[in-house]
Structure 1
Amino acid sequence: MLDTFFGGVFNTELTTVIAPGQFLLCVGASLVIGLVLCAMMLWGTRPSTGFAVTLATLPAVVCVVIMMVNGNVGAGVAVAGAFSLVRFRSAPGSAREIGAIFAAMGAGLMAGMGYLGYAALFALIIGTMTMAYHGLGFGSKNHALCYQTLHITIPEDLDYTGVFEPVLQQYATKSELKQIKTTNMGSLFKLTYDLTLRDSGKEKELIDALRKRNGNLEISMCQQETGAATL
């Protein structure tokens, strides 16, 4: 009776009917795999609740979609197109978040095809390697360098060309003027620099040296936001 109920309206001799027990087994396994994968991929981070829940349930969603496609090439192409829209209809995430989403989709795809053991093994391998790479600081050979964004406010009558470069060269291995804009109804200018400091412990010395050249107006410094961590 249940097999008939869950058989579907458009069943043909070319379509394999998925039994309710098999469906529940695959979905349940996908949920467990998603929970484990979520815990391992997001280890050491502070993700939002929404992203964590989505990542934990994504394998089950992909699993169900793959089971429903069930060998239909046309439906598979349509599903692939639908999944591609998710990336462009959502806010850009970090490289780690994008990688976690792809890992969850891969595990769900395996589970949907019935390879539950491979899906679990894949999740464990990817999760373990992600934890290991982040724990070892893989790819962060320049972690000792201090990247900062510097904002300097100057009066409108000050020719800023070459004024701050000698000071910046003394305290930074690299400095680049990224933005110039007016503020306070055009009476002031604000310069924005990206810096790679030689010594993060000399930030106050740098600011004091700059204050002597900008008329003691506002100066601020914050952690530099780089585009390398986002996709």
Structure 2
Amino acid sequence: MLFDSILDSSIGKVPAVLICSVVAVILGFIIAKCYMQTGKYTKNFVMTLVLLPPLVQVVIFAVNGNLGTSVAVLGAFGLVKFRSIPGTSKEIATVFLSMAIGLICGMGLVGFASVFTVFICAVYLILAKSSFGECSEFEKTLKVTIPENLDYSGVFDDIFEKFTGKVILNRVKTVNLGSMYELEYAVLINDINSEKQMIDEIRCRNGNLSIVCCKNLEATGEEL
């Protein structure tokens, strides 16, 4: 049955642990392969996704029934976050999935672990390949550098009114030893083809200083 642990079966502890380990490795490969289909990756990271389920499975089996050791292992898992570089939400979710599958395999629920892995990976791929959650191409982050003698309050209002439907001044930052200001706007451009014309008019207003127009930084700043 799906929720029956093979550790409670009559096949013996050693064969049961071996079966759990093999299943954990296979499911780790499935998770890694799924992650590889959704964008850029590194070999070290996908290797980690493969190895995490069997490692967690062995640890869970080893501490089964020992509360003190279980708490120590939980603390060790918590240190993983602080001993590694920050990752994106997608990477953290995938690592958590690998650890969860290892935990389920460590309980001997190989059938449930297999079904759960296939289900989550299928949902993962569907979300990754669809347009769900994507920001509109008309949403941009605009960074404009202006000299310190130019009042940034409303200096580009007429231009924004002409080319954008919404504009928010997110940040004002001094640059170049305080001799200039860098203004960061979140803008919703009315027509993507008019982006160059908008930048040209801003260049005439800011003395041809630096202007950066890119994808919405709030959408890409997903590091956890």
Quickly name the TM-score band, shorter chain normalised: 0.7 to 0.9
Instruction: Please state if 1:79 is matched with 2:91.
Output: no
User: Could you say which residue in structure 1 is the equivalent of 2:106?
Assistant: 112
Residues 112 and 139 of structure 1, relative CA distance in 2, 3 Å threshold? same
Alpha-carbon contact 1:145-1:198 (below 8 Å) kept: no
Number of aligned positions between the proteins: 212
Of 73-82 and 85-94, more deviation after overlay is shown by 85-94
Tell me what 1:32 maps to: 26
Counterpart residue type for residue 26 of structure 1: C
Aligned residue identity for 1:83: F
**Percent identical:** 38
Letter in 1 for 2:19: L
TM-fit CA distance, 1:145 = 4.1
Q: Give a deviation string over 1:117-140, Cα, whole Å, max 9, x none.
A: 221111111111111222232334
Identify which of 132, 143, 148 aligns with 1:156.
Answer: 148
Correspondent of 2:17 among 23, 28, 34:
23
Structure-1 residue corresponding to 2:182: 190
TM-score, normalised by the number of residues in structure 1: 0.82
Paired position in structure 2 for 1:8: none
| 2:37 pairs with 1:54 | no
Question: Are the structure 2 counterparts of residues 139 and 76 from structure 1 closer, same or farther at C-alpha, using a change threshold of 3 Å?
Answer: same
Match of 1:172 among 164, 169, 182: 164
- Residue 137 (1) aligns with residue 125 (2): no
- Alpha-carbon distance between aligned partners in 1 of 2:145 and 2:50, rounded to the nearest angstrom: 47
Runs of 5+ in structure 2 lacking a partner?
A: 1-11
AA at the equivalent of 1:184 = N
Query: TM-score, normalized by length of structure 2?
Result: 0.84
How large is the Cα RMSD of the aligned pairs?
Answer: 2.2
For 1:113, the aligned partner's letter is M
Partner in structure 1 of residue 138 of structure 2: 146
Aligned-residue offset at 1:230: 4.0
Q: CA deviation at 1:18?
A: 4.5
Q: 1:174 to 1:38 in 2, by over 3 A?
A: same
Structure 1 counterpart of 2:165, one-letter code: T
Partner of residue 209 from structure 2, selected from 211, 214, 217: 217
